[in-house]
Structure 1
Amino acid sequence: MSRDAGPRGNGAVERTVHSVPPVGGLSVAQTCGRACVWCAVVLTTENAVELGTRSERRFDTDFIWFPRGCRFCAEPRAYRALLDHIQSCEQCADETGRCTEGHALRQRLKEVRR
């Protein structure tokens, strides 16, 4: 699961829950969010899932990119991330509402399934 963080419009830090392929192996369309980072299908407003702002250091400068995925690829990854988390989180085992990371993962899965 990725722990990349990047700036958001309101100055807060956004945590991402999806691992994405390394930016070096992606096409321009994939790094710009016009194609799925996993399967390269062309994205539309109906099938696109925002994967969070990413930042990478390249050639002494910060490269900020905005990956997106299709729902078909993002849904099983979101589900797997949630399962991986709840199997190792004591807070989720005791009371699911108390774990902020578990809550974020459940919300992400709901968003992907819309």
Structure 2
Amino acid sequence: MGESTGPGPGAGSGAGALHTRLLIEVPDPAALSVAQTCGRVCVWCAVVLTAENAVELGPRCERRFATDFVWFPRGCRLCTEPHAYRVLLDHAQSCEQCADETGHCAEGRALRQTLKGVRR
């Protein structure tokens, strides 16, 4: 998974939302088409993305041929939901704050907000 290079575009692009999107693993860009790495189609199923069905997954930085490049993966809502849900479950199972009171953990709140946005 790549590293963040700064805040990305899209709804809920605050620092917490960006961080949670980066927790969602995406396929290796070397195995993707140009349309997938450019965010025109879903990184998982390659469906054409529109403003209604696209989910920003945060900018990623990759090193290829001694050059860094930033790419902006996006997924469709149907593919992104199970990935976001898995990240939320993994986090909640290992976070003491989430076990005590879900509202006290900023990362847990951001993950729930991300999942809520995907399901809208």
- TM-score, length-scaled by structure 1: 0.88
User: How far 1:103 sits from its partner (Å)?
Assistant: 1.2
Q: Please give the per-residue CA displacement for 1:25-74, whole angstroms capped at 9, x wherever unaligned.
A: 00000000001000111111111110001001122221100000000000
Over the matched positions of the two proteins, sequence identity in percent amounts to: 68
Uncovered stretches (5+) of structure 1, i.e. residues with no partner: none
Task: Note if contact 2:2-2:60 (Cα within 8 Å) is conserved in structure 1.
Answer: no
Where 1:52 maps in the other structure, the secondary structure is: coil
CA distance in 1, matches of 2:35, 2:69: 15
- Which of 1 and 2 has higher RCO (CA within 8 Å, sep 6+)? 2
- Alpha-carbon deviation of 1:79? 1.1
**Which whole-Å CA distance do the structure 1 matches of 2:73 and 2:5 have between them?**
12
- Indicate the residue corresponding to 2:85 in structure 1: 79
Higher helix proportion (structure 1 or 2): 2
Report which of the two has the higher share of strand. Answer: 1
TM-score (normalised: structure 2): 0.84
Ranges of 4+ aligned residues in structure 1 off by more than 2 Å:
none
Q: For structure 2, list consecutive stretches of 5 or more residues without a partner in the other structure.
A: 9-13
